[in-house]
Amino acid sequence: MKRPPLLVAILALSACTAPAIPADPFEASGELIAFSGGAIGARAACSTCHGTRGEGDGHLAPRLAGLDRGYAARQLEHFASGARRHPQMQWIARQLDMTARQKVVDHYAAMPGPALAANTSAASCTGARIYHEGLPARGIASCASCHGSDGGGNPGNPALSGQSAAYLAHQLNDWASGERYGDPAGAMTDISRALHRADRQAVADYAAHLRGGGDDRTVPATCLQTRRPDRPGGA
Ligand code: HEC
Ligand code: HEC
């Protein structure tokens, strides 16, 4: 394959600092790709943006550690096809062949999810209610019904715990605007469009508080009290 001159330069540069890159890209392990970008070069080193433990940057680069391998591999396909837009991720996904994608995704899937400290800060009632109960009047199912009441996800539905509120809100806004598409049944597109922008932020803020690991949550009792006031005179 003929490489553009810039890439050749990057490869030559990265050879000084990165671990030895095997001549045959099929020999590169998932770990090598994660830390050095493998045959693609340092610009594709996942750890630069996603953290050395795959924990994410706490802002717009998500955590990859412990992410379901099928989900993560599908996202790389989405970036490659343009169903998800992000200049660097699209470039990287297009450079990685199927074998390299699977290896790097397996590497992250095998890593333990981030150890999350208990979060005791007050949750927004709007976000908590949307997460656990949905908005039946607008046809929005609860997020918990798919992503779990602990936000830990399952093979069909990705974990939301361990992702930053900024990243989660960004994804919901991208679905609403059509920047991100291609989720299997279109559920996230429909849900994001049906939510007002402020509700997307509120539910993202709430979901970022979830801790996964079976730490099941329900709508906080304080929110229920304000939601169901006794009607005057009973009834
Ligand atoms: C220049 C920074 C950067 C580098 C390098 C990078 N990523 Fe990303 N990655 C991002 C950002 C930012 C996003 C979120 C994009 C969006 O908002 O859709 C992302 C998203 C992803 C996602 C989607 C995760 C999810 O929860 O949906 C996967 C999977 C991923 N990256 C894998 C990788 C892999 C594997 C590598 C290395 C081969 C890599 N990334 C290198 C910045 C980077
Ligand atoms: C019917 C099941 C279902 C429901 C209900 C649901 N989700 Fe999802 N969600 C999914 C699936 C499936 C994906 C993965 C989409 C893909 O593969 O592109 C996803 C992905 C996401 C992502 C992207 C995660 C990442 O790592 O990029 C966010 C954020 C999200 N959902 C938030 C929510 C919120 C908030 C709610 C409630 C308002 C919700 N979801 C309700 C099924 C669901």
Instruction: Evaluate: CB of 90 within 6 angstroms of ligand 1.
Output: no
pLDDT value at residue 124: 84
CA-based angle 64:66:168, to the nearest 5? 50
Residue 234 scores a pLDDT above 50: no
Intervals of CATH 1.10.760.10 along the chain: 26-109, 125-227
Q: How much of the chain, in percent, has pLDDT values that exceed 90?
A: 71
Higher pLDDT, 114 or 31: 31
Range 134-145 average pLDDT: 96
Q: How much of the chain, in percent, has pLDDT values that exceed 70?
A: 83
Q: Which CATH number fits domain 125-227: 1.10.3720.10, 3.40.50.970, 1.10.10.10, 1.10.760.10?
A: 1.10.760.10
Give the separation between CA 64 and CA 46, rounded to whole angstroms: 10
Amino acid, res. 114: P
Mean per-residue pLDDT over the chain, rounded? 87
Contact 59, 164 (CB under 8 A): yes
Amino acid, res. 233: G
Residue 123 scores a pLDDT above 80: no
Instruction: Evaluate: CB of 160 within 6 angstroms of ligand 2.
Output: yes
CA distances (Å), origin 219, targets 74, 128, 206, 212: 32, 6, 11, 16
Instruction: Evaluate: CB of 73 within 6 angstroms of ligand 1.
Output: no
Q: What is the pLDDT of residues 9-68, one digit of tens each?
A: 444 444 444 445 554 555 689 999 999 999 999 999 999 999 999 999 999 999 999 999
User: Which ligand approaches the C-alpha of residue 129 most closely?
Assistant: 2
Of 91, 69, 67, 68, nearest to 80 by C-alpha is 91
For residue 117, what pLDDT band results from cuts at 50, 70 and 90? confident
Nearest CA to ligand 1 atom 16: 86
Question: In the CATH scheme, what is the code of domain 26-109?
Answer: 1.10.760.10
The model's pTM is: 0.89
Q: Which two tokens stand for residue 136?
A: 């039946």
Range 197-210 average pLDDT: 96
Contact 56, 130 (CB under 8 A): no
pLDDT value at residue 160: 97
Instruction: Evaluate: CB of 32 within 6 angstroms of ligand 1.
Output: no
Give the separation between CA 20 and CA 134, rounded to whole angstroms: 51
Contact 73, 102 (CB under 8 A): yes
Contact 61, 49 (CB under 8 A): yes
